[in-house]
Structure 1
Amino acid sequence: MGNRTKQEYDYHQWANNRFFEHLVELPDKVYEKEIQSVFSSVAEVIVHIYQTDGMWLSVMSGDSFEETMSVIDQLKERVADRSLGHMQQLYTELAKEYKTFFDDCGDLSKVISINHPKYGSLETPVADLVKHVVNHGTYHRGNITAMLRQQGQAGVPTDYIFYLYEIA
């Protein structure tokens, strides 16, 4: 399970990187342009994925709810400058933090306990939370594709099969 989970996260990182490479090639206004969509701009989606990935890393690391809330505040401070280049750098740093976490965690099938004041308690393997992070990112990359098309721009293929072909 560990190698499969790491590969799923590698796919997530690969897909995010594909979007950064694509967005850099588009006119600057596309990234920040306010539009009527699920999010108000592509930049908002990029920030959301980053903050959510960081929050889940805190949870998987065993932080308490209060500690995770503090991490969320730190993540919000980091994205005050949400320029494309800065966000790409933050994603790269977060991917390194995930790699360190995977290396230190050892058994990604180990069950952890999550306590949330609204949703209650949950016992779940770390691998399932990584799958959630990947699934969440996939969903929102789809939002970005729709938002780009809404602005007359092409998306970028990030389906898992394209990742598999690239790493084969």
Structure 2
Amino acid sequence: MISLKRMFDHLHWANQQILKTLKVNEPLESHKARQFFSHILCAEQVWLTRIQGKDSSKLPIWADVGLEDCEKLLKLNEEGFSEILTNLSEENHIVLVQYKNSKGEEFQTSLIDILTHVALHGHYHRGQVNLQLRGEGMEPVGIDFITFVRES
């Protein structure tokens, strides 16, 4: 059975692959691919902030972030989630995280469900990045899990 840690290893690897491709192909005819990618990273940052018990209300979910800032955010997110996963145990994975969404509505969700959401969320948007790249005549990025496994 795949572990959450393994899912995040794939997430970080896939984000790195997208970043490399966007850097090589910059400037893109359209900046849509970068917008989708920066959304992934911003959403990861929002969830990381919520897990840490901090206020995420001022953090953007959709922002036009340049590739240099994307690279910094990617590194911060990877470090933050790695620390959380290192400290994840049978006892604390069911802890409820209390937070407000971007509309100010209050929720509480288990840590394991939030981590699972974060691990899966970027798949959809990385697909949008690849669709945008193909639409601009570029080769999509090979980010399938099986490719990650073969390269690991």
* TM-score range for the pair, normalised by the shorter chain length: 0.7 to 0.9
Q: 1:84 aligns with which of 67, 82, 96?
A: 67
Q: Which runs of 4+ in 1 moved over 6 A?
A: none
Once residues 115 and 86 of structure 1 are traced to their aligned partners in structure 2, the CA distance between those partners, rounded to angstroms, is: 25
Once residues 139 and 77 of structure 2 are traced to their aligned partners in structure 1, the CA distance between those partners, rounded to angstroms, is: 27
Task: Provide structure 2 residue ranges, at least 5 long, that are not aligned to the other structure.
Answer: none
What is the Cα deviation at residue 118 of structure 1? 6.5
What is the Cα deviation at residue 25 of structure 1? 2.1
What is the Cα deviation at residue 61 of structure 1? 2.2
Partner residue in 2 for 1:61:
52
What is the Cα deviation at residue 95 of structure 1? 0.8
What is the Cα deviation at residue 45 of structure 1? 1.2
Partner residue in 1 for 2:143:
158
What is the Cα deviation at residue 162 of structure 1? 1.3
Task: Classify 1:145/1:115 alpha carbon distance in 2 versus 1 (closer, same or farther; 3 Å).
Answer: same
Partner residue in 2 for 1:111:
95
What is the Cα deviation at residue 87 of structure 1? 1.3
What is the Cα deviation at residue 147 of structure 1? 0.3
TM-score, normalised by the number of residues in structure 1? 0.74
Q: 1:95 aligns with which of 72, 78, 85?
A: 78
What is the Cα deviation at residue 106 of structure 1? 4.1
TM-score, normalised by the number of residues in structure 2? 0.81
Once residues 69 and 107 of structure 2 are traced to their aligned partners in structure 1, the CA distance between those partners, rounded to angstroms, is: 35
Pairing 1:42–2:33 present? yes
**1:94-143 CA-partner distances (Å, limit 9, x unpaired):** 2112212323444462231435476654442x222112112111100000
Q: 1:139 aligns with which of 115, 124, 136?
A: 124
- Secondary structure in 1 matching 2:98: strand
**Higher helix share goes to which structure?**
1
Q: 1:29 aligns with which of 9, 17, 27?
A: 27
Q: 1:149 aligns with which of 119, 134, 140?
A: 134
Q: Share of identical aligned residues, percent?
A: 21
- Secondary structure in 1 matching 2:139: coil
Task: Provide structure 1 residue ranges, at least 5 long, that are not aligned to the other structure.
Answer: 35-39
Partner residue in 1 for 2:43:
52
On the 8 A contact 1:62/1:112 being kept in 2, the answer is no
Q: Which amino acid in the other structure matches residue 10 of structure 1?
A: D
